Structure 1
Amino acid sequence: MAVRLRPGQGLVSEQRERWERKRNRTARELVQSEQQYLHHLQLVVTYFVDIMNAKGTLRQEVRNAIFSTVKEIHAVNRTFLSHLEKSNFGLGFESFSLCLFLYTNYIDNLETSCKLLQVQLKKSKEFARFKKLQESRPDFQGLTLEQLLPLPAQRLVQYKHFVRDLAENTNPDSGEFQKLRKAVRAVAEACQHVSDRARRRENALQMVRVQRMLKGRRIDIASPGRRYLREGTLLRVPSKGGDPTPKMFFLFSDLLLMCSRCSQFHPLHADKYECRAVYPLADCSVQKVFGNTQSQGGLINLCYQKEELLLMSVDQDDINDWFKHLDAAIGHLKARSAVIHRQDNLARRPLRSVAAENTQPENSTEPKEPPPSRKRHRADGHEEHHVNGNMDTSAKKTRLVQPPTRAGDGDVRSLPAADSEGICTIL
Structure 2
Amino acid sequence: MGAAVAQIEMYKETVNGCYCSETTMSGSPLLLMAGANTVEEQRARWERKRSRTAKELLETEHKYLEQLDLVVTFFVTILKAKGTLKPAVIETIFGPLESIYSASQVLSLHLERGNLGLGLENFCQKLELYGHYAENLEQANKTLKEQLRRNKSFRRFKKLQETRPQFQGKKLEDLLPLPLQRLHQYKHFLRDLLENTSPDSAEYQKLAKTVKSASEVSQWVQDIVRKRENSLQLLRVQKLLKGQKTQVLTPGRWYIREGWLLVVPSKGEELKRRMFFLFSDIFVATKPCHPLHLLNSNKFACTAVYPLHQCVVDKVFGHTQSQGGLLSVSIPGSSIRGSDLQSKSLAVSAAAGLRRQVVTMVNERASPS
TM-score by length of 2: 0.80
Residue 241 of structure 1 aligns to which amino acid in structure 2?
G
Bigger shift: 158-167 or 210-219?
Answer: 210-219
Cα distance, 1:187–1:296 mapped onto 2, change above 3 Å: closer
Of 19, 38, 57, 2:65 maps to 38
- 1:322 has 2:354 as partner: yes
Of 299, 306, 309, 1:272 maps to 299
Distance in 2 between residues matched to 1:120 and 1:138, nearest whole Å: 24
Q: Which has the higher contact order (CA 8 A, sep 6+)?
A: 1
Of 229, 241, 247, 1:202 maps to 229
Structure showing greater radius of gyration is 1
Distance in 2 between residues matched to 1:88 and 1:285, nearest whole Å: 61
Cα distance, 1:64–1:85 mapped onto 2, change above 3 Å: same
What's the CA shift string for 1:147-175, capped at 9, x where partnerless?
Answer: 22111111011101110110111001112
| Conserved 8 A contact 2:162-2:172 | yes
- The aligned counterpart of 1:119 is 146
Of 74, 81, 85, 1:54 maps to 81
Distance in 2 between residues matched to 1:279 and 1:228, nearest whole Å: 14
Cα distance, 1:216–1:304 mapped onto 2, change above 3 Å: closer
Structure 2, gaps ≥5 residues long: 1-16, 20-31, 334-343
1:45-124 aligned at under 5 Å gives the runs 45-124=72-151
What's the CA shift string for 1:255-286, capped at 9, x where partnerless?
Answer: 21112223345444333322222222224444
- The aligned counterpart of 1:385 is none
Of 303, 309, 314, 2:346 maps to 309
1:375-394 aligned at under 5 Å gives the runs none
- The aligned counterpart of 2:271 is 244
- The aligned counterpart of 2:199 is 172
| Partner-residue secondary structure (3-state), 2:268 | coil
What's the CA shift string for 1:111-166, capped at 9, x where partnerless?
Answer: 32233223323333332332233233333333322222111111011101110110
Distance in 1 between residues matched to 2:33 and 2:235, nearest whole Å: 68
Distance in 2 between residues matched to 1:3 and 1:210, nearest whole Å: 68
Cα distance, 1:290–1:34 mapped onto 2, change above 3 Å: same
What's the offset of the Cα at 1:251?
0.7
1:394-413 aligned at under 5 Å gives the runs none
What's the CA shift string for 1:362-406, capped at 9, x where partnerless?
Answer: xxxxxxxxxxxxxxxxxxxxxxxxxxxxxxxxxxxxxxxxxxxxx
TM-score by length of 1: 0.70
Cα distance, 1:174–1:9 mapped onto 2, change above 3 Å: farther
Residue 104 of structure 1 aligns to which amino acid in structure 2?
G
Cα distance, 1:291–1:162 mapped onto 2, change above 3 Å: closer
Distance in 2 between residues matched to 1:253 and 1:199, nearest whole Å: 14
What's the CA shift string for 1:326-385, capped at 9, x where partnerless?
Answer: 233223317x9xxxxxxxxxxxxxxxxxxxxxxxxxxxxxxxxxxxxxxxxxxxxxxxxx
Structure 1, gaps ≥5 residues long: 314-318, 337-416, 418-427
| Conserved 8 A contact 1:286-1:323 | no
- The aligned counterpart of 2:166 is 139
| Partner-residue secondary structure (3-state), 2:286 | strand
Aligned residues: 328
- The aligned counterpart of 1:331 is 363
